[in-house]
Each structure stands twice: as C-alpha cells, then as structure tokens.
Amino acid sequence: MNNAFDRLELLSEHACFGGVQRFYKHLSGEIGLPMRFGLFLPPQAVTGAQVPLLTFLAGLTCTEETFAMKAGAQRMAAELGLALLTPDTSPRGAGVDGEGLAWDFGVGAGFYLDATQAPWSTHWRMESYLLKELIPASLAQFGLNPDRLGLFGHSMGGHGALTLALRHPGRFASVSAFAPICAPSLCPWGHKAFAGYLGKTASTWVAHDASALMSQQNSVPYPGGILIDQGLADKFLAEQLHPEALEAACTTIGQPLTLRRHADYDHGYYFITSFVDDHLRHHAQALN
C-alpha cells in the first residue's frame, strides 16, 4: 500500500452505472491535516482493467463531493472507461485566522498552489498534495494507469487544471476547463489569493497564471488541443475570468484551443452538466 494512504478511511460507497462512487479520508503528509477525496471507478476498473485517471479540480465553495454529486459525469465516464478523482479544494481545520472567510475573499481556498507566505505556507500546499501525494497514491492503491492522466476543472479549479498542466509538462496527456480563471494576475480573486499566498511582489505571480505560463512555452504543450467552455451569462466573466487572455497566448505560440462561448449559460453546475460529456470525450480521445 502507498504510504500516503496508510490511514485511508472509506467514508461511503455507492453503486453507480455499473461502477462504484466512493468517498475517502486520509491523513496527508504534504498538507499536515486530514484530507478528503472522491473516486469513481468505472465498471472496467471494477473488473480489473487498468483504466486512465481523470482528475477534476473544483472551484470556490466546493468540496470533494460537489462535482461527483452535481455534474452527472459518471454515466459517460462508465461508458468511456475513465476513473474520476475529485479532491477537496483546500485544507480544512487549520485554525488560521481568516480561514473561515475563505469564500468571501479568496485566501483560504487552495488555488492549487504551494503557499510561500505565513501563516498559509504550513498547510496550504495543494500543488504538492496533488502531484506528489494524492494522484500517485491513487494510481498505486487502485491499480490505475500511470501513463494516461488527464486534468480538468471549474473556475478556481479550471485555473488549477491549466496551471498545473503547464507547470508539469508531460505529466498529463489532456487538459480542459469550465469557466476557468485564465489570468489571475489580472483579476480581484487572483490578486487577493496571490498576495496572501505568494506575497505582494506581482512578478512572482506569473508562475501560477495560465495565460502568462502559456505565453512562455517554447513549444506547443498540448498539440491535441485544449477545450474550454465559457458561459456568456456568467456574472464573473468580465471581471474575474479573462478567457481572451488565454486565447491570445495560445494564438501566439500556436497552441490549439477550442474556446466555446455559450449564450445564456452562467457559472454554475447547470452549465457544467450541460457540457461535461464533451469534456469526457475530449479526454478519452487523448487517454485511450
């Protein structure tokens, strides 16, 4: 058993489209606190096949349960033979002042990076947690295919999916996002989170800004293409998300990008469930 899961606790288990949806809790060495995650194993994995692993990173106010319960992704994941990993967004219960206000101003939510500033730097290590602990441990524990990894997310989690995919070249074979924060260095959510976690020197922020990272690539990182869906009735679009910045960066380096803009759709899970099957097919094409 992988050491990261020596104290793995199964919280619940649910039969789902011939597979199984589970929720777990474990003590994280990287975070230094208990963490929770969800895992959907398709029927192919239940019967012993080594299937690809697709990790979904959720947004502000969400937990490890949100995508699993609201997106309706398990039906198509079962058909395509994809395991779905849904981490929690953030450390919980650290007792840091301001943690309880996380959802009001950004700091406190994980933003899928390793904080360098006190008091956040002790536990807010979401990048290391995912890349060094949770994903490797899940691959080993559940017999999943380590060579076929995909990453996607929503809002703050869309930011996480894009930045982690660009910061760790070759680690993921596919990436997509719903309404991602594409240029956090340019928006209020990003300013507050980055100033808290990384300090007030803005030049350090670009290492966690998807648009800046994309513009710095020496070659096309995802020649098979990146898929992004964005609702035009999203109340956060103009001030917080800036998909046009990522679109421009992709154009500059020749990165294929399918950026679909949808009239009438907002930022929530009715939007995600409307297009999640397309994202699963996008990943399956690259992973299978």
Catalytic residues: 155, 234, 267
226-231 and 257-262 strand pairing: parallel
Return d(Cα 205, Cα 199) in angstroms, integer: 9
Which is it for the CA torsion 235, 228, 257, 262, positive or negative? negative
> Tokens 């995919």 identify what position?
165
Of 118, 96, 37, nearest to 108 (Cα)?
96
| Residue with token string 């080594």 | 50
The CA radius of gyration of the chain, in Å to the nearest whole number, is 18
